Amino acid sequence: MSESLPFQPDAAISARDGELRAFLLRFIGLTLLSGVTIGMNKVLATLLGLHLHVSNFQLAMISSAETLAMALGTIPAGYILSRGNPRHLYAGVSLSLALAFCVLPWLPGWQWVALLMFLVGLCISLRIVAMSTVFLVRLPELGQGKAGWYKGTLILGMQFLGPLCGNYLIAQLGLKAGFLISALMFAILAVLGWHVLPNNTLPGNTAPRRQAGQAPLPGAASLRQLLRLPIVRSTYLFEILASFTASSVGVFSILLAIRVLHWPAHHSVWLMAVQGLSCVLVLLFLGRFVLASRHREQLYGGAHLAIMAALLILGLWPGSIAYLGASVLLGLGLGVNNLVNTDNIARAPVDKARVSAHLTLFGMVGGTAGALAAGRLADLAGLRNVFLIWLAPWLAAWLVFHGSRWLRRASPAAVSSLAPTAESAP
């Protein structure tokens, strides 16, 4: 008996590692299926709007209603989850979404579709906050190397697999059948979430209070303090611009493919899918390469140039190859932008929870504003001209943050080259 005692810690560690691996696999599977369902529903809602013969602005209203509701529901969702059972809440919300998608294709007008999509967004905000909170709670055990897995997997489902699945279902079975299958997937998610999520109240302010009891939390916390830091100002700005641009292109990429490229409806989703896949590849596989590179700042500035190049191509050169190339550039640029912004905030002396909440809220608000503004501008100035208009804020931000940094580096170099050397000095 005594000989077996030294092996008990190893057995406990092995069992713990096995439990963490099992949780991660189950959680990532749930995240992927959740992302697929959300991405599929984006396509279904867009094509439902086209079926109802809506204008560009009305289509933007349908798409942005969900995003706006997600933004408004983020803070209440955190409050509810801090006092409720995530397993029960996730299952109940998923079943409510299943019922909503059974009703959607039979609604008589776009206003009703937009209203129900707003209610859908409120439900999805609760689901997303539940899953992200559970993941953050387990992340210290999983290791920081897994920090990008949740977002990367969610984007893979939302922007690549989901649109493709929605497109295939509509092509094979029709629009109404696609909505019914989506409702079935929400019901399946309710069952899966019941088995994956914990059956207890999520820790809300408990951890911060323990830390506060040990030592004061370091770093800026209030919005005024945060905005005094240049790294926070630039991160907030580029994240808002990125969500603004991604939502605009996401809403109208299907429209571009159908109306500008004259692709069949069942092929139109590929512009969205290619962008999403490019972004996911960066998030999942290029993090170490980008963040550890000696040329990290150049890659960051280059990513923003890639986004601007994509907008320029979408506005000036309509063509299948050009638009697919623009989708790749946009996905790569958005992926590198997110990697560097996330790492900058991780290294900055700030309250991470407060900044994370700000970025989530700003991203959703930026996405909503981008879709609505793009819809209005598309009706007034033409769909392709919207992307040329979006170049202006990107160019201004690039000149302020990257151009000024280049000038500061160039000035000392120029001065040193003009200074007399020891050999030329009299």
Beta carbons of 46 and 371 less than 8 angstroms apart: no
Q: Select from 135, 139, 123, 125 the least CA-distant residue to 78.
A: 125
Q: Give the global pTM.
A: 0.69
Q: How far apart are CA 103 and CA 113, in angstroms?
A: 10
pLDDT value of residue 10? 66
**pLDDT tens sequence for the chain (426 residues):** 444 444 456 666 777 777 888 888 899 999 999 989 988 888 888 888 888 888 878 887 887 788 788 878 776 776 777 677 778 888 999 999 999 999 988 888 889 989 998 999 888 888 877 787 777 677 667 765 565 677 788 888 887 888 888 878 888 888 888 899 999 999 999 999 988 887 765 544 333 344 444 344 445 556 777 778 888 888 889 989 998 898 888 778 878 888 888 888 777 778 888 888 898 888 878 877 888 888 888 999 999 999 999 999 999 998 899 999 999 999 999 989 988 887 787 677 776 656 766 777 777 778 778 878 888 888 888 888 889 999 999 999 999 988 777 666 655 554 444 444 444 443
Q: How far apart are CA 6 and CA 218, in angstroms?
A: 41
Amino acid identity for residue 59 in this structure:
L
pLDDT value of residue 199? 75
Beta carbons of 280 and 335 less than 8 angstroms apart: yes
Q: Residue ranges of the alpha helices (H) in 259-351? A: 270-285, 287-291, 296-316, 320-347
pLDDT value of residue 96? 93
Give me the residue label for tokens 């019901």.
Answer: 187
pLDDT value of residue 200? 66
pLDDT value of residue 356? 65
pLDDT value of residue 352? 62
Each residue's pLDDT tens digit, 93-126:
999 999 999 998 888 888 998 999 899 988 888 8
pLDDT value of residue 410? 58
pLDDT value of residue 408? 64
Q: How far apart are CA 193 and CA 85, in angstroms?
A: 12
Amino acid identity for residue 105 in this structure:
P
Q: How far apart are CA 365 and CA 244, in angstroms?
A: 8
Beta carbons of 81 and 126 less than 8 angstroms apart: yes
**Quick check: helix, strand or coil at residue 220?**
strand
Q: How far apart are CA 370 and CA 374, in angstroms?
A: 6
pLDDT value of residue 169? 81
